Structure 1
Amino acid sequence: MGLGSFFKRRQKQQSNKRPSIEFPDHLNKNLDKNLETIETMLEKPNDLVIRKFSLGQENHRCAVVFIDGLADKQQINSNVLKNLQLLSEKKELNHNRNELLNEIEKELVSTGDVERGKTLDEVSFALLYGSAILYLDGISQVLILDVKGWETRSIEEPITETLIRGPREGFIEDLRTNMMLIRRNIRDPNLRFQTHQVGRRSKKNLVVSYVEGIVHPDILKEVNRRLETIDLDDAPESGFIEQWIEDSFLSPFPQLSNTERPDKVATALLQGKIAIILDGTPFVLIAPVTLGNTLQSPEDYYERWLIGTFLRVLRYGAAFLAMFLPSLYIALVSYHQGMVPSKLAFSIAATREGVPFPAAIEAIIMGLTMELLREAGARLPKTIGQTIGIVGGLVIGDAAVQAGVVSPIMVIVVAVTAIASFSIPAYSVAISFRLVRFGFMLAAAFLGLYGIILVYIMINIHIVNLKSIGVPYSSPFAPSFFQDWKDLVLRAPITMRTKRPSYVQPDDDKSADKGEN
């Protein structure tokens, strides 16, 4: 079939589509017309439930409309329908429809949250978000009843951020549950939740959380401004929000932090930062962040300061190895053999005898192989994923050495690099370091140590110019905030951490008074 006939058939199909129907903006006073409008808009789906009934001796016609599976039938039956039918039989109802609707709202409906709706947009959004709509014939208003009751996942330990010591609860996909977890950690009346809607068609709720009196107003204003510019059909995960509001989409480094841990979000809010919670995902965004924040873990604070400092220094060393170790091996073996001790140089030369590839090609092949194994292990079922990652690496590495494709020292270098990258707490940061590592390897292959230094300078220039919601990404290193160095590479004792981070410019910079500790 040619392209001409395809386009002709396509045009014919489009011409046969039913014309779009324009719906009125405001509700009608006639009950039947309102029900017909909502049925036509949704094309009479099987899960749309319409329950018609009459109230009192005057037979006021009413209807309750909800989506089966989104709304809680038990709440509708016990708190709405049962109350309306029983109580309307015991008392004389008002003949005035406006006053009758007020009476129903205040006396006859026992749901927790009841709102008025006047437009079709309000009704359709509430209906598709799990609310029930109470129609009364003869009035162009409805009652929106909060009876959401869809199935949710139970609160479990976060999978991506496991700790040895710390809380075992994590966020889930339900927005209200996540807000509850934050409120339970911060029982401050100044805790605020601002609601936005994202997605032209999905209309998902997005909540900006902060502590008034701590957060800097300019940072809060900038976050809200960027969120209001989001123009998408749907935002299925907070990663869409992160990519939309970040400062530089060309940077390999994440400019917002994501977490499943309520305790981590609570700590960030009390430091003067902002949390962005999207309905439908357990990952909450934290802004602004710095490079130093990406190498910190909540467990640093749950252990004594000596242990926390040791773990953090170890993590910085692991980040260095994850980025530089393969490139240093390539540079030393290919260009700067004189910098290697003689015995080690002879050992490396002996292991590389018969290897057909130069050190750079060898390192890139093994690095890509490890990345493939890591990706395969992440996508496979949990029961065999870890086994494939570990056993596959050992088998492939041993087979490659036996075949003379790579040297044993190269296998050691790649293994140490992989282990070091696993010690980085944030998954998105670990991926960034792994990506940057290949840039260092290519630079070392062409220019040796000079290439590594040039790329390192370029990355430092990029980091110094990078910002997270207007806050310098390299702070408190540059610009320097010496007060914040107590919680950067070192983790000072809790009694010395009396001020909030200076780089977020909190309105209230004191987190505690020494006399109260």
Structure 2
Amino acid sequence: MGYIKKNIRRTWKKKRAINDNNGTQQKELLNVDLQENIQKVKKAFGNSSDLVVKEFFIDEERQAGILYTDGLVDSDILNDSLESIMIDKKEFKHEDLVHTRINIIDFYKKYVVSTGEVKDVEDFETLYTAVLSGDTVFVVDSCSKGLIFSTRGWEQRAIEEPTSQTVIRGPKEAFTETLRTNTALIRRKIKSNDLWLETKVIGRLTKTDVAIMYMNGIVNPKVVEEVHERLDRIDIDGIFESGNIEELIEDETYTPFPTILNTERPDAVAASLLEGRVAIFVDGTPFVLLVPTLFIQYLQSSEDYYQRFDIATLIRLLRIICFFIALLAPSLYIAITTFHQEMLPTELLISIAAQREGVPFPAFLEALIMEITFEILREAGVRMPRAVGSAISIVGALVLGQAAVEAGIVSPVMVIVVAITAISNFVFPSISMATAIRILRFILIALAASFGLYGIAIALIAMILHLCSLRSFGVPYMSPMAPFNLPDQKDTLFRLPLWALFSRPRLISQQNIIREQNPAPQKPKKERS
């Protein structure tokens, strides 16, 4: 594994060196002739119908033009910019305004264009990127430099309730596919100038905007540096979803467990930022990545911090129990009924034997048939149209389960075991961890059918060793349990009252550990009668 990682790092270094050499090559600059620039842009875009080019005169002799992509610009902002550009010609006859490249561009940049963000453009590559990003480019004849002013404003989905991480009590807003909307949702919750945001462009063809957000003074600077380094290594044609970024920057590829947390809840991202984590936003997806992440995070929900600590602790313990049920229930049933029948009470053993009397398959094949059938129904329920998807999955499970029992293919006990396993799998707040458990469940079923409880024990030992070997951006995956950290146990298996959560996770945030100065609440004094 170490040899593979070294080869991958060498390949990344070579690609980075090639990219650096390509970046040092001289870019094609804009021409002085306006018509030549416009024709070159049209040719580069293949005379696309959504490329809009508007030409006009800024004085009696000099011509100018604007270029933008229809559908990616805000019409109101564009019209206001056009009105400001079409200024009175007399202003250009002022004796102090000499018709040179710098004077004209600076005049428009400082006194004419009314949009908030205005940048210079001198090469065609920057011009193409700006036009395809929803910006408007302003070029003038006899000038080899133009202006880019922000007019982005395409159609976008409204802020709605989260679909994958719902809560009973808590905010009902979720991220959208627009990067600036998502970062604004975090700005609304954390009104601090220490909330820093840095943006990169990743993807040679898609040129996807990727933003990195963190709390300065709380986050570990080494984690931020590592995030930048891993993102800078990416050299790919296109990025369409945060899952592409996740797979390219994760610590360990060959593991079923997720080492980068994804969420569509702004409150979860804001709380993680205050703990010292780094958020990675990708334009075009409502899921935000959080690093570093811990195993215990996948068993926690945002709602745990909106309810009383005793209720939150009870629900969190219930999730941990469901974790073991979803992982071990079918394999334990197979191991006990196949190899260790003496562990069952006599009455229960006789009842199970009577139910399996007419079943022609061993318990292993029973479990395999039922698990595969349920996975098919689950996928069908997800892919089917929403109006009939839930009905197909529920009715299909009931009908197929009942029919399988009546046909003597499986026993009623196996149907119960698989059903409680599937229900427990839905308890996890994170779908990524639920998927990992689904994969490991099949491995445990095979080992239980081969070696009984010994196979399950070996698999659990191997899984624990694997979990303890994982890291997420330098942080041990199983912390604060391994390595054990007593102060951080206040928010792992149990959730203490909010006034007791006065310190941040010590392995996540290396500075500004204390987040609450007066942790203990003061009880009101009783008045003397």
Normalising to structure 1: TM-score of the pair?
0.93
Alignment partner of 1:309 out of 313, 316, 319:
313
2:243 maps to 1:242: no
Q: Give the distance between the partners of 2:175 and 2:64, measured in 1 at CA.
A: 39
Report deviation, 1:219. 1.1
Work out whether residues 502 and 515 of structure 2, in 8 Å CA contact, stay in contact via their aligned partners in 1. Answer: yes
The aligned counterpart of 1:123 is 127
**Number of the residue aligned with 1:389:** 393
Q: Could you say which residue in structure 2 is the equivalent of 1:26?
A: 29
1:438 and 2:427 correspond: no
1:74 paired residue number: 76
2:281 is the alignment partner of 1:256: no
- What is the correspondence of 1:421-436 to structure 2 with a 5 Å cutoff? 421-436=425-440
Return the alpha-carbon distance in structure 1 between the equivalents of residues 415 and 520 of structure 2. Answer: 54
Q: Which of 178, 184, 187 is matched with 1:180 structurally?
A: 184
SS in 2 for 1:369: helix
- Residue 86 of structure 1: CA displacement? 4.0
1:346 to 350, 362, 377: 350
Partner of 1:38: 41
CA RMSD in angstroms comes to 1.5
Q: Residues of 2 paired with 1:95 and 1:62: CA distance?
A: 17
Q: Confirm or deny: 8 A CA contact 1:486 1:492 kept in the other structure.
A: yes
Kindly report structure 1 stretches of 4+ aligned residues shifted beyond 4 Å: none
- By how many angstroms is 1:95 displaced? 3.2
Q: How do 1:347-366 residues align onto structure 2 when only pairs under 5 Å count?
A: 347-366=351-370
Aligned residue for 1:55? Answer: 58
Q: Secondary structure of the equivalent of 2:295?
A: coil
Q: Deviation at 1:370?
A: 0.6
Deviations 1:370-424 (A, max 9, x none): 1111111011112211111111111100000000000000000000000000001
Match of 1:226 in 2: 230
- State the secondary structure of the residue aligned to 1:63: strand
- Aligned with 1:292: secondary structure? helix
Instruction: Check conservation: 1:131, 1:145, Cα contact below 8 A.
Output: yes
Residue 412 of structure 2 aligns with which residue? Answer: 408
Q: Match for residue 14 of structure 1?
A: none
1:297 to 290, 301, 318: 301
Q: Name the aligned partner's letter for residue 451 of structure 1.
A: G
The amino acid that maps onto 2:184 is M
Cα deviations by residue, 1:266-286 (Å, 9 ceiling, x for unpaired): 000000000000011000000
**1: CA distance between counterparts of 2:305 and 2:389?**
31
CA displacement, residues 1-56 of structure 1 (integer Å, 9 cap, x when unaligned) = xxxxxxxxxxxxxxxxxxxxx99611111111111111111111001111000113
Shift of 1:73: 2.8
CA contact (8 A) 2:500 2:519 kept: no
1:126-174 Cα distance to aligned partner (Å, 9 max, x none): 1100000000111111110100121110111111111111101110000
CA distance, structure 2, for counterparts of residue 24 and residue 331 of structure 1: 67
Unpaired stretches in structure 1, ≥5 consecutive residues: 1-21
1:148 paired to 2:149: no
Would you say the 8 A contact 2:381–2:393 is kept in 1? yes
* Residue equivalent to 1:495: 499
CA distance in 1, matches of 2:90, 2:427: 68
Alignment partner of 2:507: what SS? helix
CA contact (8 A) 1:500 1:506 kept: no
Aligned partners of 2:277 and 2:509 also within 8 Å: no
Name the CA distance, whole Å, in 2 between partners of 1:176 and 1:187: 16
**Contact 1:67 / 1:130 at 8 angstroms: preserved in 2?**
yes
What letter matches 1:409 in structure 2? V
In structure 1, distance between residues paired with 2:359 and 2:340 = 19
SS at 1:281 equivalent: coil
Matched, 1:111 2:115: yes
Indicate conservation of the 8 Å contact 1:301/1:308, yes or no.
Answer: yes
Give the aligned residue type for 2:170: G
Query: Does structure 2 retain, via aligned residues, the 8 Å contact 1:481–1:503?
Result: no
The aligned residue for residue 20 of structure 2 is: none
Alignment deviations for residues 256-304 of structure 1 (CA, whole Å, 9 cap, x no partner): 0000000000000000000000011000000111110111000011100
How many residue pairs get aligned? The number is 494
Counterpart code for 2:206: S
- Is the deviation greater in 436-445 or in 380-389? 380-389
Q: Indicate whether 1:84 and 2:88 are aligned.
A: no
The aligned amino acid for 1:179 is T
Decide whether the 8 Å contact of 1:87 with 1:108 is kept in 2.
no
Pairs within 5 Å for 1:127-138: 127-138=131-142
Following superposition, the deviation at residue 310 of structure 1 comes to 0.6
Q: Deviations over 1:207-243 (max 9, x none)?
A: 1110010010111111111111111100111001101
TM value normalised by structure 2:
0.91
The answer on whether the counterparts of 1:271 and 1:506 sit within 8 Å (CA) in structure 2 is no
Structure 2 gap segments, 5+ residues each:
1-24, 522-529
